[in-house]
A and B are shown apart, each in its own frame.
Chain A
């Protein structure tokens, strides 16, 4: 570590790089494979990593366009991928905005406002945040099934119902933002107090502008959490045109209708934007993650 012999060091370097390259080959194999499959003819795996007769058929179908094969047959898209994507993005944006608003205000209150019983609430929050919403799937189904008889807008198959359930994510994020507010110097509040600011004004004009970076992190994390949800959406959404990406994508790999090639193109199309956003934001996300809990 301190004194290394040059030969040992060179050997170690080769071993380290060799290990890394081998590991990366294993890890990145699915990515290469899925790109190759999306350009391959047909829906079954045959042939090499480099497709012999590359075709854009699966890509046309993923974008919702008819594809005319060389022999004149027209193939129609099997599923409305772009519609699902729009559903996912819409639900993700609205739910994340709600989560962000609720958790920022709560986090400020937990961090700064003196309330009797706050420690108890905080402990309760910490304990309850470990309970996943999926634990309540049966009740969620029963509740929205019953509410659907009051108004279909809140029933099974409604996006609004799904968004309401996703608001339960706030437990994780209150924690993340609170950690950030706790690190803000209390001298700022004192100064605001002396100037006669109310708690709301202190929040609105001092804490909110300071919290923009952590709020961006929470928004992205919450958005990713919503997009990735399968269990809740699969219980609440029934019809094909209301589905989110996660629920819809599963239809491609049905035992009776196995559309491997079409799935590959649709997966890249829908996965790429989120991946890019995540990679751009990752430096900021990492700090937010270690404060909060596991990505889910």
Chain B
């Protein structure tokens, strides 16, 4: 993907009036981005730093050098596509090879920080405190033991001062004002005359706090309660006791194909995965077939020369398309409600039926398809009306003269002529429904759940909503597993996308060949 000018074109005739202004702007923006990249690198985000660096380099080269004049127009779009789509998708798939989850959320350094900052409060030494103003700084007053601290600023990181017996100070802050100084109080260590270190142990007390874990060497922590040495295991991302028992929280490590093995081999995962996979295809295929059939039928009727009120019908028929999708889906969620939904009220009044739309798997699937066809047919109808107009009238007339019925004319003359231009759009609709998260999340959230699974999986879950639930709902933020499934979706979408590409090429070739 090299981007450079080639051949004569508008770019060669370009005469710049103020090159110094452009160069100055490019220099300033380039420097700003370089600084940003360096900053990101410094705060331990080297990946984002590298991306910003790449963008900065591309920007400076393309906008700085005159020979890349043409590429300047393409750069913003290509950069946006790479940064906002290609990178996140690749990053998600990479996460599929890690154990990133609610247990392994942090970096290694942060994990050690979190573990070593945990402490056990000694109740013997716990006592209330008050803060007294002392010029610009403060003093800590411990009324129970009658000790007053040296002046402290409460504004710097890690302060340590000694306590000495004193009279109660007069100018004490109210507890509410003292709480406002919490950040400074938490990093304060007070040493009593008996050499005991007291730390802030709660909103209102100071006490002697023993850290639960002490860093005792490279990759080693000592647990204070039992003196056990925990060793960092960089394969599992946890500190482990000598018996191999992990101590949460852990950090993010690469786990190779573990997530994929879980999908393929664990029974509680593989079973629901297969059923979800099948339903995703069925859902997308049936939705496309449904909207195509309904849309085409309506378009044919609307095109009929003897039909009156065409415009009115057309406007009313596209209403489901005009209303924002999320509102319609939520309206259906309410209307289909098993206990107080209007649909069940009507069905009960007419036929004495109360279908379990949300707790019976098959009924839930039927409901989803119905709602999706309701949402999607107007688009197909509008497209079909356009394509139908392109079918030459004399073909149909000739067939009719030969004595063909109108049904026969439709299936032998009209349909074969509109399918080829329709095909790319049908494939696109398939791909769209394959990942139709909005519908599933707002209508059923994947429910009802499949019984007997290890991870929450629903009868109406499609792959995308299953991934969403794994990562963001009720199952411990299993980002790694979600990333692994995303790779699966990625492969399917890539196949569909390529099929669409081929279909589009063919349609274009046919058009130009005619």
Contact = CB atoms under 8 A, between A and B. Distances in A.
Interface of A: 1-2, 9, 12-13, 16-17, 19-20, 23-24, 27-28, 30-31, 33-34, 37, 44-45, 102-103, 105-106, 108-110, 112-118, 120-121, 123-128, 130-143, 146-147, 149-150, 164-165, 167-168, 170-171, 174, 189, 192-193, 196-200, 202-203, 224, 227-231, 234-235, 245-246, 249-250, 252-253, 258, 260, 263-264, 267, 270-271, 274-275, 278-279, 282, 286, 289-290, 293-296
B298 interface: yes
A106 B74 CA distance: 5
Interface stretch (B146-154, B160-168, B205-213, B467-475): B467-475
Given A131-B493, A134-B464, A170 B80 contact: yes
Interface stretch (B173-181, B218-226, B229-237, B427-435): B427-435
Contacts of A229: 438
Interface residues of B, number: 112
B88 interface: yes
Interface of B: 1-11, 13-16, 39-40, 43, 45, 48, 69-71, 73-74, 76-78, 80-81, 84-92, 95, 100, 298, 301, 304, 306-307, 313, 315-328, 330-335, 337, 340-342, 345, 374, 379, 382-383, 386, 396-397, 400-401, 406, 409, 425, 428-429, 431-432, 435, 437-438, 441-442, 464, 467-468, 471-472, 479, 482-483, 486, 489-490, 493-494, 496-498, 500-501, 504
A230 B438 contact: yes
B306 to A, nearest CB: 6
Contacts of A135: 89, 92, 435, 464, 486, 489-490, 493
B489 A130 contact: no
Contacts of B334: 37, 253, 260, 263-264
B77 A279 contact: no
Interface of A, helix, strand, loop or mixed by DSSP: helix
Given A27-B319, A230-B438, A1 B48 contact: no
A164 B331 contact: no
A149 B337 CA distance: 42
A275 B432 contact: no
A131 B490 contact: yes
B3 A115 contact: yes
B287 to A, nearest CB: 11
Contacts of B489: 135
A137 B467 contact: yes
Contact of B100 (A23, A142, A260): A142
A211 B90 CA distance: 34
B221 to A, nearest CB: 24
B316 A28 contact: yes
Contacts of A171: 81, 85
Contacts of B14: 198-200
Given A131-B497, A138-B486, A279-B315, A249 B330 contact: yes
Which secondary structure dominates where chain B touches chain A?
Answer: helix
B313 A117 contact: no
B45 to A, nearest CB: 6
A168 B88 CA distance: 11
Contacts of B409: 1
B15 A198 contact: yes
A202 B14 CA distance: 11
Nearest to A249: B330
Contacts of B15: 196, 198
Given A1-B400, A135-B493, A171-B81, A253 B438 contact: no
A293 B425 contact: yes
13 contacts: A12-B306, A16-B301, A24-B313, A27-B320, A116-B4, A118-B74, A130-B428, A141-B479, A165-B84, A198-B10, A200-B14, A260-B337, A275-B322
A45 B343 CA distance: 10
A203 to B, nearest CB: 7
Contact of B327 (A114, A131, A271): A271
A128 B86 contact: yes
Contacts of A197: 10, 13
Given A170-B80, A290-B425, A246 B10 contact: no
A24 B341 CA distance: 21
A230 B431 CA distance: 18
Contacts of A260: 334, 337, 340
A290 B386 contact: yes
Contacts of B11: 113-114, 198-199
A174 B383 CA distance: 20
A203 B341 CA distance: 55
Given A16-B301, A115-B71, A136-B85, A45 B342 contact: yes
Nearest to B374: A27
Contacts of B307: 13, 16-17
Contacts of A147: 45, 48
Given A13-B306, A128-B85, A230-B438, A44 B340 contact: yes
Contact of B406 (A1, A23, A44, A141): A1
B436 to A, nearest CB: 8
Contacts of B69: 199
B81 A193 contact: no
Given A227-B324, A229-B438, 13 more contacts: A113-B10, A115-B5, A125-B81, A127-B498, A131-B89, A134-B437, A135-B435, A135-B493, A193-B13, A200-B14, A246-B438, A293-B428, A293-B432
Nearest to B36: A150
B89 A139 contact: yes
Contacts of A250: 330, 442
A231 B468 contact: yes
Given A45-B345, A106-B74, A231-B468, A139 B438 contact: no
